[in-house]
Chains A and B, each alone.
Chain A
Amino acid sequence: MYKKKKTGAVGVGITIVILILLVFLSNTNIERLSYIENAFSTLIMPIQNGITTIKNKIAGNSTFFTDINNLKAENEELKEKNSNLEQSLRELESIKAENETLKEAMNLTEKYGEYKTVSGYVINKDISNYSSVLVINVGSKDGVEPNMTVIADKGLVGHVISVTDDTSKVQTIIDSASAVSCTISASEDSIIVKGVLDSTYLKATYIPTNANLVPNDSVETSGLGGIYPKGIHIGTIKEVVNTKNITDRYAEIEPAVDFSKLATVLVITN
């Protein structure tokens, strides 16, 4: 026997103390522990930022070895296109100015124009296969607070769950723990959109029995629940799966944002 009785008892004691501590910790709000996160992120952030910059630079250089003659011909072509485009741009700008005055007159604002936003880069993605949490490089110094909504150019990304001075943690809508109250734009039926393990689609549940869902219908946030503002685009219905019981039926929704390539996000700060 290599185990002495005494050390065994000490081991059990330590294990019990650790377990009790863990229970307390797991019940405390993660926001309250942000000072530890702060210290850790100060250590990791510079390296993380550097690696992201290098990655972006390498990704931009894929045309390095292209044939030079092709480039010359392409250059000529592009120059011509460019002059054409410039002309149409001028035309469009005058139309835009006209449009804006008309909008003002009709008291309309742009789609997301009413929100104040802060833009940030994704510097870290989740390390496990089962959840989808992002870390972005804006934090409380930039005015970001927990529960703020995060969007990308094409639609909703998720919401902030904790912040440090320079970084924020974002729980995306494809995370299994996420549930968003939504409406179908065409019919105004309300549904709940949840994330599933297979992150290629979202699952819409609690579909009203009398609702008529059509593939390619657009889905947007309903504004209920207090986190997400109303009217932010989420995605389109890909497929409606009917089950034996009509109350159990669900729909697969294709998210508008491509989360695997997500690099820049906007945080809505008001």
Chain B
Amino acid sequence: MKKKLAIFLICIAFIIIYILQANFFTWFTIAGIKPNLFVIFIVFLGLFGGKYIGIISGVIVGLLLDIFIGKNVGISAIMLGAVAIMARFLNKNFSKDSKLTIILVIILTTITYELGSYIINAFIFSYEISIWNFIRIVSIETLYNVILTIIIYPFMQRVGFSLEDMYKENKILTRYF
């Protein structure tokens, strides 16, 4: 029952994040660059969710984004899945109380996501590659994501621990040291 509630809450969170990203953050930008809330969301689910929650929701969220606003189906799905796998892999290897590590995780995942999507897109649609513009956009976007994460991490942590309790797993020792 609790698990069903958690899945329902994840769906609601997705809709809220979608509306924020598509409305509020299209004008609340740093030098015209939007943050990527979905990467933060999937990293959060990968870190705190159950075994496959992060990966499954990463792929589903990516597919929905592709269908609703993308030019092709599958690219965001693959990259958000990859982000979730990275977060899942890091789940057991660091303390979730340390802000520095979470910042590093966000930097790593944001860059991976954007670089991966850009390369796949560039191959499929034969983009005019402009490396400097890409680097500029990625660095500002990563910075923005980091700032947002620092602001909302205490909240994320609280919700995350209750989510973690719902999906009781054997080893959640990292929480305690």
Contacts and interface: CB of A to CB of B under 8 A. Distances in A.
B125 A127 contact: no
Nearest to A250: B128
Given A18-B81, A197-B133, A131 B71 contact: yes
Nearest to A36: B67
Given A22-B78, A51-B23, A128-B34, A30 B18 contact: no
Contact of A176 (B18, B73, B125): B125
Given A18-B59, A26-B75, A30-B73, A177 B127 contact: yes
Contact of A40 (B38, B64, B130): B64
A194 B122 CA distance: 13
A23 B64 CA distance: 16
Nearest to B131: A197
A161 B34 contact: no
Main secondary structure of the interface of B (DSSP, over half): helix
Interface residues of B, number: 45
A131 B68 CA distance: 13
Given A127-B65, A197-B137, A176 B127 contact: yes
A41 B128 contact: no
A233 interface: no
B21 A127 contact: yes
A95 B23 CA distance: 45
A203 B128 contact: yes
Interface of A: 2, 11, 14, 18-19, 22-23, 25-26, 28, 30, 33, 36-37, 40-41, 43-44, 47-48, 51, 55, 124-131, 133, 135, 161, 169, 171, 175-177, 194-198, 203, 205
Interface of B: 15, 18-19, 21-23, 26, 33-34, 36, 38, 52, 59, 63-65, 67-75, 77-78, 81, 92, 114, 117-118, 121-122, 125-128, 130, 133-134, 137, 141, 170-171
* Shortest 5 CB-CB contacts between residues of A and residues of B: A26-B74, A177-B125, A197-B133, A176-B127, A127-B21
